[in-house]
Structure formats: structure tokens, C-alpha cells
Amino acid sequence: MNSRNSVSLVVLILILMSIPPVFSELSVSIIMEKTTYSYCEKLFYTIEVSEVTGDPAIIHIRDEAGKGSSAIPIAISDFRNPIPSLIAFQEEIFPLGKYFIDVQYSGSEATAEFTLIDSNKICIPQVIKPILANWLSGNISDGFLIDAIQKYISTDIIVVPFDVNESNVYDIEIPEWVKNVGYWWIEGGISDDEFANVLNYLLDKKIISYSNESKEEI
């Protein structure tokens, strides 16, 4: 190699060394399963990142008025991270309208939105499921289950035609086979609407009743 080529090579190396390295900027995005939800449905979305840094993603969910949830840390272990909600939208907690999901991850941010609408679907409050599970396990009596239904479920959904109180709570009887209906509902085999229809039928036909009911009707 002649001296001219050597000088040119040295100059090229010096130029390359003076150029700062270019790093691709980390990105985060939110992929929504859908953008319209109604009561009884569960929010589902996916956080997609360009790099797994070991940092958690910090999520806030807020409404149009700016009222939002506290920070929710989510572990990011892959480039695509599905985020299913464990609790369905409930009328008592979530008003109708537009909502925003804000995600912060390793210095990057993303926002997505969805709308909660009223579809007139029957929606049984989630609080009933653990109570029903305790009843199915034999931990609470028939009367305590009906008492919970009367307290937590609107009469627009299930009508209990008698008042449950301390004097009759242990006298209420539910046929053993009704437990099959409870299992089906908890496991998602039947809808809230179907479960409510079955209970309304059993209550209306006095298949679910209490022992003193007939005496009070005389």
C-alpha cells in the first residue's frame, strides 16, 4: 500500500470515528382488541414494544374528565404483551363515555382510547361470583345467597318476591340441582341474561322459597 492510500485510509477511519453512533429510539404502542365496549365486557389490549429493557410499563386509565386510575405496573417480558382485564365493566364503577389508556415504558409513551356504551345487556355485578362460589362449596346457606342477590342485584334483573331477614334466612331452600346452573354461570357456560332468567323463573314458581311463605299467604 502506497503512502497516499495509507493517508486516505487513516482519514477515512478518523471520519468514521467522529460520527456518533445511531441508535434506534425505543417505541411502545397499544393495540386495542376493539374500541367499543359495553357493560359486562372485559377490556383487552396488547402492549407492543421494540425492545425488552427489563423495566415495567406504567399504565393509567382515565376518563374524558381526566379522572383516572392509580399507576398500574405491568411486567414487559416480550415484544407483544397481552393485557386482559380481570374485572368486567360495571355500571356502578364506570360511567358511559370515552376512556384513554396511557402507557409509559422506558422513556417512551403511547395513548389509546375506547368508548363505553350502554348496550342494554343484563350485567350481574362481579361481587356475586365469590358469594356464589362459597354457596356452591357449602360455606354459606341458601338464605345467605338469596340475601346477597337481593342486596347486590337490581330488581330490574332479578326479583326476589320476599324479604330475606334474620328470622327466615335459614328457612330458604334452593334445590340441589340449581348448583349446576351456578357452576355453568361461573365457568362462562351461560350468560348473565340466562342465569338471571333461570333464577327469576325459580323464584316466580316458588321452587326457591322459604318454609314460612305458605303460612303467610293464608
pLDDT single digits (tens) 24-57: 689 999 999 999 999 888 899 999 999 999 999 9
Q: What is the pLDDT of residues 6-24, one digit of tens each?
A: 656 655 666 656 655 545 6
Lowest pLDDT segment from 3-12, 70-79, 91-100, 102-111: 3-12
pLDDT of residue 139: 94
* Rg of the chain, C-alpha, whole Å: 29
Q: Are the beta carbons of 202 and 208 closer than 8 angstroms?
A: yes
Give pTM, 2 decimals: 0.63
Q: Name all domains of the chain by residue range, CATH numbers in brackets.
A: 28-117 (2.60.40.1930), 128-217 (no CATH)
Q: Are the beta carbons of 122 and 192 closer than 8 angstroms?
A: yes
Lowest pLDDT segment from 14-18, 64-68, 79-83, 212-216: 212-216
pLDDT of residue 214: 45
Q: What is the largest CA-CA distance in the chain?
A: 120
- Describe the strand order of the beta sheet including 72-74 as a list of residue ranges: 36-38, 108-117, 97-105, 57-63, 72-74
Q: Are strands 36-38 and 108-117 parallel, antiparallel or unpaired?
A: parallel
